[in-house]
Every structure is written in structure tokens, then in C-alpha cells.
Chains A and B, each alone.
Chain A
């Protein structure tokens, strides 16, 4: 199944760094996604965009994760040559990730 079926997401930018949230629709899926969504897996999935490290922060109270992606904006929003200089569309790429069905 696709991550999109269990979670939703929004991307934010700061300088040359992106953050992508992953928020469970159902808090019971938090532990499952914690196993599935390792920083390595996220970095591999977004490898053509993210040149730096991927750090995962956990927010169990919100049943959510915050992935911080280094060197992901072509030198920063203000000077990037990318069509989506803010990287705002990247949340949709992450939602396309294949994950195991939690059942």
C-alpha cells in the first residue's frame, strides 16, 4: 500500500533545508510507520532531490514524524534553479512510498 493511505504530509523550507511531516490519520499506526519510515528509507526514496542527511524527529503525542532533509533546495529557495524552488511538492513524493499493510 501507499503511505498516502495511512498518513498525510506538508513540506516547509528554510534556507537549503526542507522539512516534511508525516502525520498518522490513526494514532494506532504510529509504531508501524516508525518501523517502516526509517531515515535511510526516506533518503533513498528522495535520492535525486536530497543531497544531504535525513534526520527523523519523533512526535508521539501528535502521532507524527518530522523529517528534516539537508541540502535539498539547490542552494536555497532564493537562488535555486528548480521549478519548485521551495520544494513544496516533495510531500507528495513521500506519500507515494510503498509501505507494508499494518494488518
Chain B
């Protein structure tokens, strides 16, 4: 029997690259992208901890704050065009996100949608009861037990694949590795095996290219005169047109702003990876070293050659915990002598914080415009900008002391150098994140349906 070559193309669109991302390019993709799937990656390291705090106050919350706005904008056109939706907007409460989405669908008059919630990433109890050490600091997790807010494992594609196989139109997850949101529909469509490491490696390349949305279509790329991007204000989000051999063409809606080139694809390929031969993911250890990036035609870039080796026995878990407070104040100086007056201002605040006995675990003094971003550089030593902004920021154990830092910058108005203006003061509670490695057997990823 001769195998019939599979000539299908599966079209994946990226509808968001982070939780606050623009919504209109997602609507544009659902409308004009001829998509099979629209995928929203909305969960940064710390986002889930903030969502967990919201859930503790109200058990029906804890999902992405923009979920409702996104679903209202996208659902009508996605349903009309038969586009399935996958997103980690479930954050700390995927079930509540699914219920909310079902309610929105009903209000929009869309019936019969199968909406799935993927759970099992919340491993707070397991991490609390076990004997784990943080990968970053080596501290034991038990030493900060009372301050832990959340612990979520990076799940792989499997529970999303199952939900799709059972007919899900919309899949909402909590913590899932970003590329796995894209790997899952490819496994479902092409029937790839969960231990076909080469294929999963290439699928990870596809997900990695798409997961930051506009960052591969010319966003975060423009450098006038060196790297120009047309119509950035109307930047479109990417489409990945995937073949059965796993190779992908990255492209965009023709009339959308932005540009897809070999250069935009390469920048995104190397973004946030360490060893390109061993990019650790829950589904596979991906190998990016043999990747080929070739322009097929204007705004159509073919990427192939991703490979992989077997996945590891552990999952990465992000543990979020309360870690004191940060207080900050800023003030600007301008004109002749601006830098000298700003330096004097910093010296005064440094001395006054000592006099006032403000206890800080860490203090930092910056001159924005000179050394705030990269410290003592050659450029910083000689810089005499027309205007400069003094910044004082410190870590404290109490909110009261954090407030005092900003206050000592504010008092520079009447107690500091001449001509200071534009004081701002901020304080915030710090939610820090470190990771532990959890044996896979300790997680039970699953999904459930909520009927709309």
C-alpha cells in the first residue's frame, strides 16, 4: 500500500504575545488569516501569582483580566470562520475562565461551543509537602513556606491535545510551556507521536517563533536607518503555515503592518533561549542548531530543521512568594549643571535615609539619561545631557519604610538643589519567582468541558 503524502497545511495564528497585548491584530487574524487555530500566550512568570491573589479574594476570578475583552472581540468572527482558540488566559483559574467564556458566548448568541479547561499545573500542595530546593538560589522552599503565593508546573501539550481530540472549540489553560500551546494543535492535526523527538523539536521551533506574536512580524525590531519596518502602528500578528513534515512558513495578513524577514525570524528564534542545542521544554529537548531560515517570497519565510532529543523526567515549577517591598522616587534636573545638581540630589537622599534610620536591604541610585540602564559605561562618564532624572530605589521589609524612600526624594523640592521638578513616588509589594524541578509523576494534567 502506498502512503498518500499529506499535503495539508495547518495555519496557526498568534493572537497575543503577553497579557496586555493589543487586541485588534487578533481580530484581524481571525477575520482575514484563513486560520485553523488562534492562540493567545498571555502568562508571564509573575502573572499567575497576581492572578492567584485575585482568586483568593474571589473564587470566580483568577483568570486573565483581559479575557473578557479579548473573547468579546474575537469570538464572533472566530466562530463564523471555524477558528479554534487555545490560550493560557485561564491563569490561576482555568475553570472560571471557561465558565466566563461560556457566559460571553451565550450573550453573543453563539451556541454549541465546546469549551475545555486544562488543569493540573497548580502543584502548590506538592511543593509545600516535599523537600525541594530552588534552582536559582539553592535555598530550601520550606524556608519561605509562609510567604509562598503560588506554585505552578509548566505542563506540556498532552492535555490540550486530548481536549482537541474530544472536540474542543476553545481550550483554556493555566501554566503551560508557551511553545506547547502551539505544539498541541500540530500533534492533534498531524497525528505526531509524543515520542517523535525530531518532530516535536521542529514543532517547538514553530511555537517559539509564534509565541511572542508581533515580535516576529517586525515588532521590537525597528532601528531607523538600519532596520526599517513599514507601518509599525498597524503591526500585524503572525501566521505559521505548517506542513506535515513540520516545516513552517511564517507570514502575516497581507494588508497588515510590519514585515516578516529572515532577520525578524532569526531574532525571535534566539530570543530567551540559552544552549540552542538543548532548549528544555516539557514535551522535548529541542535542538535549534540545524535550523534553516529561507525567504520564499516577500513576507514568507520558511523555517525548518528543528530537531530534538527525549524530554527530561522533571517539569519546571515556578514558585512565587512575597519578598518585601520596593520604594522609589524620581526627580528631574535640566539646563546647565543638570548632572552636577542631580548627583548632589542623590548624595543628599543617601545621607538622609541614613539619618532617618530607614532600613533597606538593597539601595540603588541612578541618573536616568546617564547610567540607569547600563551602569558605568564609556558613554556615561562623558555624558552632559540637557536633562537628567535622579532615581532612588530600595528594598525594605515594611511598606512604611518603602514609602519613606519616595518621601526623601520629594523633600528635595524645598530641601535640595536648585531647579528640581517632576517628582514621582511609587511603592509596591514584591512577588519574587524562583523555580524547582518536579518529577513528572507528581502532576496529573487533565481537562474538563464546560458546555456553552
Chain A residues at the B interface, C-beta cutoff of 8 Å = 4, 8-10, 12-17, 19, 21, 23, 25, 46, 48-49, 57, 59, 61-62, 64, 66, 68, 76-79, 81-84, 89-90, 93, 96
Contact = CB atoms under 8 A, between A and B. Distances in A.
A15 B267 contact: no
Given A62-B291, A83-B368, A46 B374 contact: yes
B231 interface: no
B274 A48 contact: no
Contact of B434 (A10, A15, A19, A90): A15
Contacts of B366: 83
Given A79-B395, A79-B432, 20 more contacts: A10-B268, A12-B272, A14-B274, A15-B433, A15-B435, A16-B136, A17-B274, A19-B270, A19-B274, A49-B374, A61-B290, A61-B292, A66-B273, A78-B433, A82-B373, A83-B366, A83-B373, A84-B372, A90-B373, A96-B379
Nearest to B274: A68
Interface in B300-355: 305, 320, 323, 326
B30 to A, nearest CB: 28
Interface of B: 45-46, 136, 220-221, 223, 226-227, 263, 266-277, 288-293, 305, 320, 323, 326, 362-364, 366, 368, 372-377, 379, 391, 393-395, 430-435
Given A10-B267, A76-B433, A81 B374 contact: no
A19 B272 contact: yes
Contacts of B363: 81
Contacts of B323: 79
Q: Which of B45, B136, B270, B289 has the most CB of A within 10 A?
A: B270
Contacts of B376: 48
B270 A66 contact: yes
Contact of A93 (B45, B377, B395): B377
Nearest 6 A/B pairs, CB to CB: A48-B375, A12-B272, A21-B270, A10-B267, A79-B432, A81-B364
13 contacts: A8-B226, A10-B220, A12-B270, A12-B273, A14-B272, A19-B272, A21-B271, A59-B289, A62-B266, A76-B136, A77-B45, A79-B395, A82-B373
Contact of B46 (A8, A68, A78, A89): A78
B272 to A, nearest CB: 3
